Every structure is written in C-alpha cells, then in structure tokens.
Amino acid sequence: MTDRNTDRSVSIEPNSKPILLKRFISTGFDTVSLLLVFLLLTYIIMQTPLASAYNTHADNCRKTEEAVLREYGNDLEKARERLNADELYRDELFAANLHGYLLKALARGLREGVLFLIIPLSNESRGTLGRLATGIGLFNELTQTYARWYQVVGRFIFIFVFESMTLYLGTGILTFLLVPVIRFIMIMLNKKNKTLCDYMTSTMLIEKLSYSSIR
C-alpha cells in the first residue's frame, strides 16, 4: 500500500458499503447518548438560580392568566386583550421565555460540548462515542490525516448553533429525531456521503480500518 503520509496525491474515498451501516449505528448511539445526557443535565440545571428565576416568572404569568380567566370566564378574546394590555404581564412573560431559552441553551451547550467537542478532542481519531464504538474516524480531506483540532471546534460550533439551537426553535424536542434524518438524506445524495457540516469543515467520516496507514 502506498504510504499516504508521503503521497498526498492519493485522495481519501469513502468505503460506502460498510460505512453507511456503521454511520447509521453510530448516529443512533450518539442520539441516544445525547438524549440521556440532556435529561441528566436538565435535571441538574433545574436546581440552579437561573431555573429558580424562570420558575418565579413562569408562576407570576400563570397566576395572572388564571386571575384574568376567572374575571372573563369563557370570553377568551377579551381575556387575551386584557393580558396583552397588561405591561407587567408582558414583562413577566418575556422574562420567563428568555430564562427558559437560556436554560435550554445551557443544557444543550454542555451536552454537545461533552459529546461533540471534549470527547473528539481527547482521542486521535476525533471520534464521538458512537464513532469510537463503530470504528469510524474523522479525517481531514486537505491533509489526508485525522481532523485537526480547529476542524473539530468548527464542527461543534456548526452543530450547536445551526442543528441544535436554530432548529430547536422551530421543532423543539423533535430536533433529536429531525437532525439524524436530515443528515442521512444528505449523505445519500452525494458521492462522498458528506453532510453540510463535513463540507464546511473539509472533513469526512471514513472507516479507520480501511485507511490504517493514515496518521
């Protein structure tokens, strides 16, 4: 086999037959890990002062809504108009929504920081838990080596800002299922089985055993 460390003209190609199955298993493993870590971190974060502030604002909103509904009964239109005209209620609602979003961002940032940043940076093949379990490595297409640290950081930023927080605003908890589906649709539509994140960071996922000479 040609030494890829000296011959940079040899480009990495995906081993598409086994890697698609392994990527499916890897993504499933990572998705379950994300959900479990998210639930654990959410429980921990809900004990913080930020969560206490959220609960206070949310309770104030709920009490105001209950009082208005008791006053107007079944006339929901007038009840909404009354709430919309209540400046204190609007301020409390804004504060509750803001604190709620910050709590979600904190939980998701910590979760994905552990699984998509700290763990990949701590091993040579830049693998997540799922990739390590299935023998998949993250490679740098430009240098024909394992991905550099800044590429891992770039992938994390993309995953957190776009796939996690942006999609979460529109889909909520369904993001856990929606993101893997979008990724698999995309990898099936291009020859190198790359996602948008791979294209933006000049990386690709391949089987480590198929390219054992790369260091």
Count the neighbouring beta carbons within 10 Å of the beta carbon of residue 173.
10
pLDDT, residue 90, reads: 92
> Would you kindly state where each structural domain of the chain is located, as residue ranges?
16-211
Selection from 2, 1, 5, 3 nearest residue 143 by Cα:
5
Separation of alpha carbons 106 and 53, rounded Å: 15
Cα 144–14–183 angle (5° rounding)?
110
Side-chain half-sphere CA neighbours of 211 within 13 A: 26
pLDDT, residue 142, reads: 87
pLDDT, residue 9, reads: 42
Residue 203: partners with Cβ closer than 8 Å, 6 or more residues away: 138, 139, 140, 141, 147, 151, 155, 197
pLDDT, residue 166, reads: 64
Q: What is the pTM of this model?
A: 0.69
pLDDT, residue 78, reads: 86
Mean pLDDT by 10 residues, the chain (215 residues): 44 59 86 84 88 94 90 83 90 92 83 89 92 91 89 88 65 64 81 85 84 54
Selection from 165, 189, 168, 190 nearest residue 178 by Cα:
168
